[in-house]
Amino acid sequence: MPIVVLGLSHKTAPPEVRDRHAFPAQRVTEALGALRDYPGVREAAIVATCNRLEIYAEVADFETGVGEIKDFLTTYRAMRVEDFDKYLYTLLGADAVAQLLRVASGLDSMLIGEAEIMAQVKGALASAQAAGTMGSHLNRLFRTALRAGKRARTETSIGSDVVSLGAAAVELASRSVDLQGASAVVVGAGKMGTTVARHLAARGAGRIAIVNRTLARAQAIASEIGARALPFDALGEALANADLAITAVGSGAHLITAADIAAAMTARPGRCLLIVDIGVPHDVDPGARSIDGVDVLELADLRGIVDEHIGGRKAAVPAVEAIVDELSREFLRWYQSRAAVPLIARLRTRAERIRTNEIERLFASRPELDEAQRAAIVQASIGIINKLLHEPLTKLRETAASATQAGDSADALNKLVDLASMEEQIERQFSTSFAPPAR
């Protein structure tokens, strides 16, 4: 049962394609419920971020599983066939494992080493648990990925030179608009919108208006930085008076339409308006680009700004890659050793039968033993069996991992392991260790 990942990201798909397939966080659990109905998909989790959609799954077999995930995407997400051909990537086995660890470590982000991705991977784990699609294998993989992310940020400088997309958006805007004394509108009062508002205030923006559907959230930020909080129905008026607008919502709908902007520009003849849209999906109607006096920038335009600030992070990439490689190999060895599970169960069953038979013989030969003595003997016998099993079980796991790496099947593994010989050895050792004392 291989592990696979199907996805698209900022590396493979343009913004309009990522917008079309963006997964709102609140719908991930629902989507996993639909994916759970496919028989070839044993476990599944969805990592949906600003710049990626990835489905991690353990499947019954590669071709069937991938086919069912693609069917899910075409039906549940209405993904077009051309998106598969041009933008969707598929990774299998070790490559899929390494991909999740690279994502959690910040190596695969638009902003290298971003801190937010750790919370997003944790969220993907929680959503899959809530949907009932997170089994023991993906659970181990995701927790290994979180370990990789934590080690990357504590053992290397991948998280140094702190910069955020919100800060980069303000820096980009400052290269076109003189922020000192400028009138700015921030659309959205979430984490990103808050970052934008704080950076605008720190850069000396003259007047800042924060527009949000939940006015109380906008008011909390506004009171902190000395800005105005406005309800969403006041957005048109705010745009008519602004030199700059930065949007950071990404709700899945165009919160600012071309008609909204056209009306705002009519009310302010002769003035230009810069809009920086960092929402994913986009908050601004693409039609706004054709309106005279309006300049719309987006996430892709931030790359240059980000690159200027993350030299230290780039230097840490080889060290983070080494962590990813180490933990990927650790996970794969554990995953490959699962082939030994049926054999381990059989050996434990046989060992328990040996223990029970020997204990019954001992009790039959010592009827004078009271209940407390018998309970102590049973407990001691369990400890002896566990010690006797340690070496053969370790051998089983190592043999299974080696056999899987070599491509051997479960049947071949059965031939490699002499289970009968192990059973005989355990029986001799137990009988010797627990034989009734001579009268």
Residues 324, 98: contact at Cβ < 8 Å?
A: yes
Question: Quick one: pLDDT at residue 407?
Answer: 42
SS3 percent helix, strand, coil of the chain, rounded to 5, is 60, 15, 25
- Does the residue 330 lie in any domain? no
Note whether 333 and 394 are within 8 A (CB): no
- The owner of tokens 């230009």 is 272
Q: Are 10 and 151 found together in one domain?
A: yes
Do residues 183 and 216 share a domain? yes
- Residue 102 and residue 90: Cα distance in Å, rounded? 15
From 200, 192, 213, select the one nearest 299 (Cα to Cα).
Answer: 192
59, 197: one domain: no
Q: What is the CATH number of the domain that holds 203?
A: 3.40.50.720
**Is 137 among the domain residues?**
yes
- pLDDT string in tens for the chain (439-residue length): 689 999 998 888 887 777 777 777 778 888 899 998 999 999 999 998 878 899 999 998 888 999 999 888 888 766 666 666 788 899 998 999 999 999 999 999 877 887 788 989 999 999 999 999 999 999 999 999 999 999 999 999 887 755 677 888 888 898 889 998 899 999 999 888 998 999 999 888 889 999 999 999 999 999 999 999 999 999 999 999 999 999 988 777 788 999 999 999 998 888 999 999 988 778 898 899 999 999 999 877 877 777 766 666 778 899 999 999 999 999 988 887 765 666 667 777 877 888 888 888 888 888 888 888 888 888 888 888 788 777 776 776 666 655 544 444 445 445 445 556 666 666 666 666 666 555 5
Under 8 Å between Cβ of 199 and 174 = no
> Which of 259, 293, 309 delimits the end of a domain?
309
Residues in CB range of 356: below 8 A, 6 or more apart: none
Is residue 272 annotated as a catalytic residue, yes or no? no
Report the number of distinct structural domains present in the chain: 3
- Residue 307 corresponds to which tokens in the numbers above? 């690159």
DSSP-derived letter for residue 297 is E
Asked whether 22 and 48 are in contact (CB, 8 A), the reply is yes
Cα Dmax for the chain: 111
Does residue 394 sit within a domain?
yes
Structural tokens at position 148: 């990789």
Distance (Å, whole) CA 250 – CA 106: 21
Q: What is the CATH number of the domain that holds 131?
A: 3.30.460.30
Query: Looking at the domain assignment, is residue 52 inside a domain?
Result: yes
Structural domain range at position 20:
3-159
Catalytic site residue from 5, 45, 48, 50:
50
Examine the domain organization and report whether 183 and 152 are in the same domain: no
Note whether 66 and 103 are same-domain residues: yes
155 and 12 in one domain?
Answer: yes
Structural domain contains residue 317? no
Task: Report which of 10, 71, 11 is spatially closest to residue 35, judged by C-alpha positions.
Answer: 71
> Which of the listed residues 159, 194, 218 is the one where a domain comes to its end?
159
Instruction: Answer yes or no: do 111 and 192 share one domain.
Output: no
Judge if 76 and 149 occupy the same domain.
yes
Clarify whether residues 84 and 193 are in a common domain. no
Do 165 and 298 meet the contact criterion of CB atoms below 8 Å apart?
no
Residues 44 and 126 in one domain: yes
Domain membership of residue 322 (yes or no) is no
- Give Cβ neighbours of residue 91 (< 8 Å, ≥ 6 apart): 4, 5, 99
Residue type for position 104: A
